[in-house]
Amino acid sequence: MGPTKEKQVVYKEKKSKGGFFSYMLVALVAALIGGFVVAYVAPTYLYGNIIPYPETNDGNTNKTGNETIKINTKDDINTVSAVAKKAMDSVVGITTTTTQQNFFGNEVPLQGVGSGVIVDSNGYILTNSHVIDGGNADKITVQFADGSKTNANVLWQDSTLDLAIIKVNETNLPAAELGNSDDLIVGEQAIAIGNPLGLQFQRTVTSGVISGLDRTISSENVMMENLIQTDASINPGNSGGALLNSEGKVIGINTAKIQSAEGLGFSVPINIAKPIIEQVLSDGEFKMAFIGINGLEVDKYEKALGLDIQAEKGFVVIEVVPNSPASKSGLQQNDVLTKIGDTEITGFSTLRKALYNYKPGDSAEMEIIRNGKTEKINIKFDKAPDE
């Protein structure tokens, strides 16, 4: 009896273990089959027949059961390639020779290199003032996409804006299309074309985004305002080259890079240059509207005199030139000039920017703060006395 019972006990335990694993196997198979049914049958049969389609946020039926997210994008690589193809030939290389005296008093030729953008097919090229040494270069040579070279003359330059227009005696040149820098938004695509580190890398294309707008930097004792910031790679030699949008339109002229950091390049907005280009093309030269005042920014004026003039920003008039447009308009000493036309005046640079929108003979409305009260006066600009 003992052995028999022992065998029966052992037999029953084995039977019990076998049944447990069998149940587990059946459950696992059932789970897999159930998952298959949910994954493949439900979307194709249950939804729309037994279970209604779920609604997305836009009210459209989603047959996968997930919310539909629509992102309209462009292929960045194809966009950059298309922009390069459109604008490449409009970017030129610029080399300069400037004679300077060395320590021993001997004249030594210094070579410079940069970039430029053809803005009119009849030989007008926009670049940086510092590329042509502030207009002091003895010789300026332009190299085109086909490798041909020719000399250029300076028509206009302004070191405060770091812009210049030079001219070559050529026609039928591939002029770039100019965009609207006032419409830029942070994060949109930006493509730079220029000649980094010399003409051996001419018309190099880099891409990035608009990283910031209305930036202010100090460069060689000059305060530059209203700049476009981009992370598109800009290196020495890129100066004067084009910053373009995704449509291949020039939105800026590359001017500077912060050497101590990566991805910090700056461009002068093309809208600053547009009125200058237009006048040069129509008149063959540029004459800046003359206002006839001297002054300081509000913060510098208050700091220098220890005063609070009840104005947050603007240009404080310290001197009014006799018989100047400012004098004839009624502008007075200690007035704070805050706006000319639609341009807000925050300092000397923005004052010059505002004046570039006008020619001698044009009229404009000015907004001033006088004795703590805002007033508006009209002014008719003239040409500078030495012109």
The one catalytic residue in 129, 239, 267, 349 is: 239
146 in active site: no
Q: Residue 264: what are its φ and ψ, rounded to 5°?
A: -125, 85
User: How many whole angstroms separate alpha carbon 262 and alpha carbon 256?
Assistant: 12
- Alpha-helix residue ranges (DSSP H) falling in the chain: 2-36, 76-87, 270-283, 298-305, 325-329, 348-355
- 319 close to 368: Cβ distance less than 8 angstroms: no
Q: Residue 227: what are its φ and ψ, rounded to 5°?
A: -85, 155
- 351 close to 345: Cβ distance less than 8 angstroms: yes
The one catalytic residue in 90, 115, 129, 130 is: 130
Tell me 53's DSSP state. P
For residue 379, the surrounding DSSP H or E stretch is strand 373-380
162 in active site: yes
| 297-306: burial string, b at 16+ Cβ within 10 Å, e else | bbeebeeeee
239 in active site: yes
Q: How far is CA 163 from CA 68, 127, 131, 156, 254, in A?
A: 48, 6, 9, 8, 10
- Bridge-partner residues for 189, per DSSP? 209
The one catalytic residue in 133, 158, 162, 335 is: 162
Question: What are the structure tokens assigned to 33, written together?
Answer: 């089959």
The 3-state secondary structure of 11-42, one letter per residue:
HHHHHHHHHHHHHHHHHHHHHHHHHHHHHHHH
Report, as residue numbers or ranges, the catalytic residues.
130, 162, 239
